[in-house]
Structure 1
Amino acid sequence: MLKSTFARVGCAVALAAALTTSVAGVAMARDITLRASHQFPGGKGDPRDEMMQMIARDVEAANVGLKIQVFPGASLYKPHEQWGALTKGQLDLSSFPLDYASGRVPQFSVTLMPGLVRNFDRAERLNTSPFMDEIKQIAEKHGAIVIADAWLSGAFASKKECITGPDSIKGQVTRAAGPAFEQMLAKAGASISSMPSSEVYSGMQTGVLDAANTSSSSFVSYRLYEQAKCLTAPGENALWFMYEPVVVSKRTFNKLNPEQQKALLEAGKKAQEWFSQEVRKGDQLLIDTYKKAGVEVIEMSSSDFDEWLKVAQESSYKNFSENVKGGDALIKKALAVE
């Protein structure tokens, strides 16, 4: 009898311990909070911030024990620090201009190669091409997984004169978003001053910059219309397109359980679909905002685009093909997309 009682008590204790462990495990799962960083303004309508906020809301709504805390406006990491933090597992997610990591992964420069994209429809086709498959494989090899594609068109703005063909940039101190554009602009006679988009406003305000190129969204969210005299909008001949995907640390992703991974991937896919439609509205918002602010707005002609492309082929394309491992093949894969 006594032995039976001890057995029952032992079973009860074991069961209670198992339940406690199970409950603790659930509590721990529900306490998982990932940190997402990006450099763009929060709460001001920037679609990149909204894209990340959407992912955070949808992941939490999936009820799989996962939350995402979003840190906008470079409040957690400076723009160029994010890639290193992400690949080391110190940062979990980021909406990140992939070209910003080209100093560590030179192949990423192709994601901001002048004239390679030209319009949103072609950007969509690039997303499902062998070109993008290779870019994502390279990213994963270095510790980051793309969960949402995002391409942004871009523009030029100047405090001095309108930027049309290559001759118009001569003598202007210009900010370009990455090495490929810097090489092209320098070839055309510009002086280059490198900085992230979040610093362009102060650069133009203090006279460090005469001109800049960046995404349409950044031109609006950073209020660069307060400093610009003339804007060259993307129009039908967008020389500037930049890949700014949402990426998750591979170390972080591998620590999640299958349900959490599934929720994160599904949230990324949904946000990508929203972004691909929303970002197309950005070019018109850009034009309307700058005209309202009294800034002259023009568009690059097809002949201007072709002249720039010649300069790019002689500078950034040539340099990338000759000096980056697999560079020539990557450009050919991109150009093969109709």
Structure 2
Amino acid sequence: MSTRGDCFVKSSCRIFSLMSNNLGLIELDSVDCFKCPWDHWPNSQKSLCLPKTIEFLSYEDPLGATLAMTAIISTLVPSAMLRLFVKYKTSPIVKANNYNLSCLLLLSLTLCFFCSLAFIGPPQKETCLLRHSAFGMIFTLCISCILAKTIMVVFAFMATKPGSKLRRWTSPWVSFLIISICSLLQLILCISWQSLAPPFPELSTRYQLRFISFECNEGSVIAFWAMLGYLSLLAFISFLVAFLARRLPDSFNEAQYITFSMLAFLSVWIAFIPAYLSAQGKYTVAMEIFAILSSSWALLICMFFPKCFIILYRPDMNSREYLMRKPYLAHQ
């Protein structure tokens, strides 16, 4: 017996024969085909519809468990660094690198690691609304802190010139004004996104035949990429300003660390775009989490590991005498 060519893989076929003794007619190889429901798939014999497996990144999944454990452990590192900065807040290197902004940046990096946990587990209406908005706002706070630190480094050196009028712009309120403006713009974008086309949980069958992908639909793809684009713009501006200021005379020129951190941050998210577009199902979510963790670690390593190393293992470099060997943040 054979089946008709228009019975494709999502169909279940019944093959039967009709015989009529009275008329002497025999109908062989007749086919009755019908499509399986959207949440079922046909077996290999195409004789039965089987329910599809619902797939999402869960804590029971080895991949989800690994990412969750990595995120939890990662949150401990900036928390420990924050305690170290608070303990040594009167030391020259901590004071010279803007103690308040450094603490705010460490706190935001802790939240960056923590927010990746919202991407694990079955999507719900609340978690879908929280995922990308929390990610966008926390990372905007983080990059805004770095941008403020970069601008303050430039202002601090320019203010040391005789007759400079930039000394008043080295006040802490200027850095917090920069952070507030940058964060407010992202907040407006997120509120517009949530109001006009909010993300929602969705069961999708477009990736694989035998699985139903349980995921968060972005609602508005344009808003999603606009959020990432705004983050990239802030990072690029920070990178550009820090790159131009990298040769300023300084024993601990923070602009150099900012340049490397923004370069690493941009590299991670540029590589994320093709990986995100090519991934399917739960691996799309895994790629988002990996990008969040990788970019957060890049910022943490480039911005704070050198300072923590000096505080713990090179106290001779953490002194005013060492800092004053070259012109260094005289306003401090």
Question: Which range, TM-score by smaller chain?
Answer: under 0.3
Q: Structure 1-normalised TM-score?
A: 0.27
Higher percent of residues as helix? 2
TM-score w.r.t. length of structure 2 = 0.27
Decide which structure has the larger Cα Rg and report it: 2
